[in-house]
Each structure stands twice: as structure tokens, then as C-alpha cells.
């Protein structure tokens, strides 16, 4: 979210108009949402008396106030309606203030607490669809009124929503057009935001190389300008995600730590996500014992809750090398673990590693063992164990064969490679080179 967009800096400005002072005093009396409050605040927004700069400032404050009241009450349709109704007011204020108000309304809608992505509104739209609708309508209005500065920034937000909605082709086309347009204008700050979104898009498409290239371009442009703390923190967060994809969990942890501190310093709700990824990196690198010390740290204590408990349960399961505890943690904290695609993908890899370690430990004393016996020890379905053993044999993690007729696994002793053949080939090659030199001499 852009910094400062939800702060009414005009509130601190001294008003000279008596009418404006009266309207502001009336506005400050409203703190909770009800029909009377809505009616009175709307009366201030659409006040038709004195038209002056001071009155316009109060109207701006009233727009923010009513938008927040709508947001806190979950009135998404009323919020969208408000964004349309106030458009005539924009003719009396600067384009910069117009852009601030429009983007603030979109931000407030995104922060609406009482509506989740999975819930549908009265019109049948999901919350995400509602955000898309507001952005698309705002873009159409901005294009119609030739407000290109505002349009580009709303299109950037729209691209982010398309990525969230898994509309990758649409998001890619929109971002490609934005990059071409913004490069011509040399707006490096907006270009950094767009390239960061490109990196997220390619990561979602599992194209890590192009995701890294887009992120590198974003960092390069960011180094040439002043990069706001929020944007710099997002760059660090994305860097951590891409390093984790390449299994470089130590570097990923460093980036996640930087992003956690950054989000925490600006009171951004995404700090808890960075904290979860920090804990994940420690588990994946094989240091689950460090999770407890991180959670008890000064910064992390304020984020104690179910999200942190979920990662703590995973760390405990990994410490105990227990598949049952691991599955229990995933089942208990399904929303916190399975619904996060990044955590889910890495935990799948962690589960495979844990399963392989347990199987190797169980098979160590045997030369021949029934597969059903192995399945009973590890407490997993026979088909899962059989499939995993086949994979481990093909990956040469141990030597053996599966006798499916008898339902047995025959384990061979690990034999050292016989280097006689390769040494003989090397000797013949060297003798051939010597012979050729003699013939050419």
C-alpha cells in the first residue's frame, strides 16, 4: 500500500473559513457507523453552500471518514458507489489530490476487515471480484478524463489483483503495456513497482529465472532513486522468496529478516508473513531449534498467535523426526500452512525429506524386509511406502530391488565403484597420445 494515502494531512492545516470550521466540527463528532452518521457525513461531502479551498479540505476529510466507516462496516458496495458519486467533486480540486483520494478508496476497500476473499457479497461477487470491479471502473473513468498519471497507478494495482486472482495471462499483458508506457515517461518509482509485480507473476508461473531477472531490474532502478521503505521491504521479501526457491535458505532467511524488520517498522500487517517465512527458512536449513529463540525475541513477541504456533508445531515435528506430528500440524493448522502456496510447497519438500530419512533409518538393519512391515513401523499406507521406496531406488539413495510378488524389499550392501575399467581407459588414451606424437616427430 502506498505510504501516507490513508493519512489526512489536511486535518492539521488551519482553516480560516467560518463555514469550513463549522463543517469540520460537525465531522469530528462522528466515530461510529449508523444511518444518521452516514446521512450527516454525506451531507458534508455534497455540501452546496460556500465553495472554497477550506470547504474542499473538509470535504476531503469527510470522504476519507465515510470511506473508513464503510470499510470497517464491510459496506463494500456503498464504498464503490461513493467512489462514483464524488467524481464531480474532483473537478474542483487538483489532479494530485484526486489521485490520492481515488487510490485511498481502493486501499480502504482492500483493508475491509469484515469481508474475506472466500465470501460473496450481496450481488454474488467475491471480495476479490469487488476490488477488480472498482479498479476497472476507475481506470475507465481515468482514461475517459485523460488522467494518465492516475490510470497507470490504478492499472498497477489491478495487475496485482489479477495475479492474486490467478489471471496470469491478463496480468502479463497489462504489465507489458505498462512497462513500455512508463519507460517512455522515465517514471522510475512506478517502474520499480511494475517490475516487482513482474517478478511475482513469473514466480507464480514457476519461471524462477525470469522472476530473478525482473527483480534484478527492479533493484537496479530502485538504486537510482529514493525507494520508499515499504517498497524496499517488498523487494527484500521477494528476494527471500526467490532464494528459498533455489534452496538457498540461509540467504533467504537474511532477506526475510530484513523484510520483517521493515514491515514491522511501518506497522504493516505483512510483517507476520515475513516472520513465518523466517521460521520456515530456519526449519528448511535444518535448524528447527532456532525457532523457539526467534519467537521469543522482542520483535516477534507482538505477533504471537495461531500463525506462529503453526510454524512452531512444524519445527517440533521436524526436531522429533515424526511424520505423524508433521501430518497432525498440517491438519490442525490447515489455513495457516496449506493455504499459503509458498509455505505449502516447501513443507511438501520437507515432508519428502523427512520420509526418506525415516525409511533409511528403518531399513538400515535389514537385508530383506517385508514392505508391509516397513509400512506398519512408519504408520503409512502400503502404497505410499512402496511408491517412495521405488523412487529412492531409482534415485540411487540406496541399493535394492522390490519383489512385488513376495511383497519384499531386498537391500544390497553398498558396493564401492570398481575403478579398474576407468583407469585402463585412461592409460590407453595416454598411450595413444604418446604414439601419435612419435609418429608426428
Q: What is the pLDDT of residues 306-346, one digit of tens each?
A: 999 999 999 999 998 888 888 899 889 988 888 888 999 99
Residues 356 and 247 in one domain: yes
| Residue 416 confidence class, pLDDT cut points 50, 70, 90 | low
Residues 232 and 351 in one domain: yes
Section 345-374 average pLDDT: 86
Residue 272 within a domain: yes
pLDDT value for 414: 66
Residue 379 within a domain: yes
Beta bridge partners of 410: 368, 401
Among candidate residues 338, 363, 388, the one where a domain is terminated: 363
Residues 337 and 378 in one domain: no
Residue 266 within a domain: yes
Residue 102 within a domain: no
Residue 296 within a domain: yes
pLDDT value for 417: 64
Using the structure block, give the residue that is written with the C-alpha cell 452546496: 48
Of residues 2 and 197, which shows the higher confidence score?
197
CATH number at residue 296: 1.25.40.570
pLDDT value for 176: 95
The helix (run of H) or strand (run of E) holding residue 410 is strand 408-411
Q: How many domains does the chain have?
A: 2
Residues 248 and 346 in one domain: yes
Look at residue 9 and tell me whether its pLDDT is greater than 70. no
Residue 353 within a domain: yes
Q: How far apart are alpha carbons 434 and 441 in whole angstroms? A: 11
CATH number at residue 372: 1.10.10.10
| Residue 415 confidence class, pLDDT cut points 50, 70, 90 | low
Residues 232 and 357 in one domain: yes
Residues 251 and 307 in one domain: yes
Residue 320 within a domain: yes
Helix (H, G, I), strand (E, B) or coil at 376: helix
Residues 317 and 422 in one domain: no
Residues 346 and 407 in one domain: no
Among candidate residues 312, 333, 363, the one where a domain is terminated: 363
Residue 369 within a domain: yes
- The separation between the first and the last C-alpha atoms of the chain, rounded to the nearest angstrom, is 77
Residues 245 and 233 in one domain: yes
User: Which of 191, 199, 189, 299 has its CA nearest to residue 241?
Assistant: 199
Residues 267 and 392 in one domain: no
pTM score, two decimals? 0.79
Q: How far apart are alpha carbons 243 and 233 in whole angstroms? A: 15
**Three cell numbers at 379?**
504408520
Q: Look up the domain containing 392 and give its range.
A: 365-441
pLDDT value for 294: 92
Among candidate residues 363, 398, 433, the one where a domain is terminated: 363
The helix (run of H) or strand (run of E) holding residue 411 is strand 408-411
Look at residue 124 and tell me whether its pLDDT is greater than 70. no
Alpha carbon separation from 420 to 146, 396, 427 (Å, rounded): 78, 22, 11
Amino acid at each position: 500500500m502506498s505510504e501516507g494515502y490513508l493519512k489526512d494531512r489536511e486535518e492539521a492545516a488551519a482553516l480560516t473559513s467560518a463555514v469550513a470550521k463549522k463543517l469540520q466540527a460537525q465531522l469530528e463528532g462522528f466515530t461510529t457507523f449508523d444511518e444518521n452518521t452516514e446521512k450527516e457525513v454525506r451531507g458534508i461531502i455534497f455540501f452546496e453552500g460556500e465553495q472554497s479551498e477550506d470547504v474542499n479540505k473538509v470535504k476531503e476529510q469527510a470522504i476519507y471518514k465515510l470511506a473508513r466507516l464503510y470499510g470497517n462496516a464491510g459496506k463494500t458496495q456503498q464504498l464503490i458507489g461513493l467512489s462514483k458519486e464524488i467524481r464531480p467533486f474532483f473537478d474542483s480540486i487538483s489532479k494530485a489530490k484526486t489521485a490520492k483520494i481515488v487510490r485511498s478508496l481502493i486501499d480502504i476497500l482492500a483493508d475491509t476487515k469484515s469481508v474475506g476473499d472466500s465470501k460473496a457479497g450481496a450481488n454474488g461477487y467475491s471480495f476479490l471480484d469487488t476490488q477488480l470491479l472498482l479498479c476497472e471502473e476507475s481506470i475507465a473513468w481515468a482514461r475517459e478524463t485523460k488522467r494518465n498519471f492516475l490510470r497507470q497507478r490504478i492499472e498497477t494495482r489491478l495487475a496485482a489483483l489479477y495475479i492474486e486472482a490467478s489471471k496470469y495471462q491478463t496480468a502479463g499483458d497489462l504489465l507489458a503495456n505498462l512497462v513500455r508506457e512508463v519507460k517512455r515517461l522515465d517514471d522510475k518509482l512506478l517502474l520499480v513497482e511494475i517490475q516487482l509485480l513482474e517478478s511475482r507473476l513469473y514466480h507464480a508461473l514457476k519461471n524462477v529465472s525470469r522472476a530473478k531477472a525482473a527483480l534484478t531490474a527492479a533493484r537496479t532502478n530502485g538504486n537510482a532513486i529514493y525507494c520508499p521503505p515499504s517498497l524496499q521491504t517488498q523487494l527484500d521479501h521477494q528476494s527471500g522468496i526467490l532464494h528459498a526457491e533455489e534452496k538457498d535458505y540461509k540467504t533467504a532467511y537474511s532477506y526475510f529478516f530484513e523484510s520483517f524488520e521493515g514491515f514491522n517498522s511501518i506497522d504493516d500487517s505483512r510483517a507476520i508473513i515475513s516472520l513465518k517465512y523466517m521460521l520456515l527458512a530456519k526449519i528448511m536449513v535444518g535448524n528447527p531449534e532456532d525457532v523457539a529463540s526467534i519467537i521469543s525475541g522482542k520483535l516477534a513477541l507482538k505477533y504471537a498467535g495461531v500463525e506462529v504456533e503453526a510454524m512452531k508445531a512444524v519445527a517440533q515435528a521436524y526436531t522429533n523426526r515424526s511424520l505423524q506430528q508433521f501430518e497432525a500440524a498440517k491438519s490442525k493448522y490447515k489455513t495457516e500452512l496449506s493455504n499459503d502456496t509458498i509455505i505449502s510447497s516447501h513443507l511438501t519438500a520437507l515432508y519428502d525429506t523427512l520420509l526418506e530419512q525415516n525409511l533409511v533409518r528403518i531399513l538400515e538393519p535389514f537385508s530383506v524386509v517385508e514392505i508391509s512391515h516397513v509400512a506398519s513401523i512408519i504408520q503409512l499406507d502400503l502404497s505410499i511406502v512402496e511408491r517412495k521406496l521405488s523412487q529412492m531406488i531409482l534415485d540411487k539413495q540406496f541399493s535394492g530391488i522390490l519383489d512385488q510378488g513376495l511383497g519384499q524389499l531386498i537391500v544390497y550392501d553398498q558396493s564401492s565403484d570398481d575403478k579398474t575399467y576407468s583407469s585402463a581407459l585412461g592409460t590407453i588414451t595416454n598411450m595413444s597420445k604418446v604414439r601419435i606424437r612419435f609418429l608426428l616427430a
